[in-house]
Chains A and B, each alone.
Chain A
Amino acid sequence: MPETAIEVRNITKKFGVHTEHEVTALDDVSISIKDNEFFTLLGPSGCGKTTLLRLIAGFEYSTRGQILLYGENLIGLPPQKRPINTVFQHYALFPHMTVAENVAFPMKMLGKDDGETKKAVNEKLELVKMQDFANRKPGQLSGGQQQRIALARALAPHPKVLLLDEPLSALDLKLRQEMRTELKNLQRETGITFIFVTHDQVEALTMSDRIAVMSVGKIQQRGCPTEIYEKPNNRFVADFIGETNLLEATVSKVEGNDIFCKLSDNIILKGEGETGKNVGDPVTLAVRPEKIALSPISEQTEGSFTGKINNSIYLGTDTTYIISVNGKSELASVEQNSAVGKVRFKIGDEVCINVADNAIRILED
């Protein structure tokens, strides 16, 4: 079992204590991040991601709780004494130093000799493919190039943990996609534990080994990308990650882990998830649009139900259909346009709706 790199234990952080503007930025947050893991903190703006990173880096002190680095308590250690480096969202490159001097900075501060410093600088610049820019000033670089330098600089002293606060958010879409792969590769090559902060779910799903989804200062769910996407625990996670259909239903039968829910007039769906529900309880169901398949009304199969196409949105590779069921609940279904033998539906068509097995999640309230 891999060692725990960072352990966040019951951290609470309040700003403006004893003033009228008291804000609880983090509320009893616990996370353990494994050695050599690409861990992502995902959540909407203002949920406390940056605050958590700043606590780990040492820029803020917690109101309650502890942070351990490989079992050692970090409390009271200033940032310069923590073997943890940060890649800032705004890069924070020193404008009066060249690229090479920027990357050499942490090595010099640690008192490394010139040979070692030079070696680290060359190595890290090569790693981010910026060797040719060593003598430029940060002001003469594009945003993406500055980002790479910030990365090289933070990696140069080979920290135990690297913190990245939305490092890709200032880049254009194309560059962002390239950098996702590069960052992931970089993490594998260096073997350094990465804690990555983002509010972009695609970024989180594509890069991470594990994700913690946050909302208003609390961890909503932790897990690997597939778990987070396929098995959301609650409404917030289901809604925040990807597209999802949320349906209100009542429990009609409970059989072990399978819970049968009545959507409306005789439409019974089998779901899994939050147990401890009894017959008659109201529940919220979540179904991903791509788990809903449509077929012509003539091909009705067992377990399917019918609906009417209200709208169809063409998206190139896919088409999204909005379907009304019994004239009230609205469902979205995504169908791939390239799939063989697919019938295209028109607005107003009656269709037969099939929900894939195990695709329905019953959410916590």
Chain B
Amino acid sequence: MEPAKREATKRWLGISPAVLVIFIFMVIPICIMAVYAFLEANPYGGVRPHFTLDAFIQFFFEYDFDDNLVFNSAYLNIYWRSFVLAFFTTVLCLLIGFPTAYYIAMQPTNKKNMLIFLVTIPFWTNLLIRTFSWILILRDYGVINNILLGMGVIDKPLTLLYTNGAVLIGLVYTYIPFIVLPIYATVEKLDLRLLEAAHDLYANRRQLMSKIILPLTAPGIIAGGILVFIPSLGAFIAPNLLGGGKKLMIGSLIQLQFASSRNWPFGSAAALFLMAAVLIAMMIYLLGPARKTDLGENAG
């Protein structure tokens, strides 16, 4: 073999485990999902091998009393609400996560390690249990309402549970460690001498933040944003438990199709729509700011 060819072969051998893992755990499931979306549902679960577009039709239309197909926005509304909730979850996570990560990164080494350790503690307990505890906090005679009632701020309990707000709180709570960690990693690598230089060159605190700190930590902010946005779009634990299951989000919708509704093709189609939506959102997120401020180039 020529040396160049041998090199290429070696390189392929080197990455083959990764390729294999991606193939088995990503490509094959997606293919199965894509195929199922075009098959007929079996009322007992699974699919029948007949090609049909029923799943996609069901997504946009419904049959009225006269058996005519009419446009139905119910599912699109679920997607829209999921997007809005995921967007606000990401924004809130950024607003809380960035100062937290920044503060932690600026502490002396021992304290820093200790605080990062504390951030990871929630992972030790099952998410389901942690979300249940939010019910105890938010319900009508839960922790918050009892405190407010006790202080005389309110005289009847506020409806906190089973609202969009409760879902938002649950999502922010669930995903905030995922934004703190990547931002912490970039802030920690930030060259503090650059901040001194910026002050020396007449930047005030606000300008320091917008011209130096944010651009230099953008890779962490982007990574953290993605890590929060995508899973919260498909989340179903917080929406189910704290949203009461009445206000469906995409995750709950898909989960329902595979569980009680036994409509696998529709679940697959809904998941495909979710994937497409995520891809589009990511493209907007990554290309938008990258083109304007050149962040993409510096991320490397």
Contacts and interface: CB of A to CB of B under 8 A. Distances in A.
Interface stretch (A6-14, A90-98, A241-249, A302-310): A90-98
Given A80-B202, A106-B202, A110-B202, A92 B207 contact: no
B193 A90 contact: yes
A96 B298 contact: yes
B196 A59 contact: yes
Contacts of A194: none
20 contacts: A57-B200, A59-B200, A78-B199, A80-B201, A80-B204, A85-B200, A86-B197, A86-B200, A92-B197, A94-B194, A94-B212, A95-B216, A105-B198, A105-B203, A105-B211, A106-B201, A106-B202, A109-B201, A109-B203, A157-B202
A231 interface: no
A95 B195 CA distance: 12
A88 B198 CA distance: 12
Contacts of A96: 215-216, 294, 298
Interface in A252-286: none
A7 B71 CA distance: 81
A191 interface: no
B44 to A, nearest CB: 58
Interface in A68-118: 78-80, 84-86, 88, 90, 92, 94-96, 105-106, 109-110
B193 A105 contact: no
Contacts, number: 57
Contacts of A57: 200
Interface of A: 57-59, 78-80, 84-86, 88, 90, 92, 94-96, 105-106, 109-110, 153-154, 157
Given A80-B204, A105-B211, A109-B207, A92 B193 contact: yes
Interface string B18-41: 000000000000000000000000
A110 B298 CA distance: 26
B201 A88 contact: no
A86 B201 CA distance: 8
B226 to A, nearest CB: 20
A50 to B, nearest CB: 12
Contacts of B198: 94, 105, 109
Contacts of B212: 94
B298 A95 contact: yes
A59 B207 CA distance: 18
Given A92-B193, A94-B194, A153 B201 contact: yes
B200 A79 contact: yes
Contacts of A88: 193, 197
Interface residues of B, number: 19
Contacts of A58: 199-200
A58 B200 CA distance: 8
Given A86-B197, A92-B196, A96-B294, 20 more contacts: A57-B200, A58-B199, A59-B200, A79-B199, A80-B202, A80-B203, A84-B200, A86-B200, A90-B193, A92-B194, A92-B197, A94-B198, A94-B212, A96-B215, A105-B198, A109-B202, A109-B203, A109-B204, A154-B201, A157-B202
B166 to A, nearest CB: 40
Contacts of A92: 191, 193-194, 196-197
A58 B203 CA distance: 14
Contacts of A154: 201
A3 B212 CA distance: 37
Contacts of A153: 201
Contacts of B191: 92
B298 to A, nearest CB: 5
A86 B202 CA distance: 11
A85 B200 CA distance: 6
A69 to B, nearest CB: 14
- The CB with the most chain A CB atoms within 10 A, among B197, B201, B215, is that of B201
B199 A80 contact: yes
Pairs of residues from A and B, 8 with the lowest C-beta to C-beta distance, nearest first: A92-B197, A106-B201, A109-B202, A79-B199, A96-B298, A109-B203, A96-B215, A80-B202
Nearest to A102: B201
Contacts of A105: 198, 201, 203, 211
Contact of A85 (B201, B215, B216, B298): B201
A361 B194 CA distance: 46
Contacts of B194: 92, 94-95
A153 B194 CA distance: 13
A319 to B, nearest CB: 46
A84 B294 CA distance: 31
| Residue from B196, B197, B216, B294 having most chain A Cβ neighbours under 10 A | B197
- Centre residue among A79, A86, A96, A105 by max chain B CB count within 10 A: A96
Nearest to B212: A94
Contacts of B196: 59, 79, 92
A292 B207 CA distance: 61
Contacts of A157: 201-202
A106 B212 CA distance: 13
Interface in B200-237: 200-204, 207, 211-212, 215-216
Interface in B107-160: none
Contacts of B200: 57-59, 79-80, 84-86
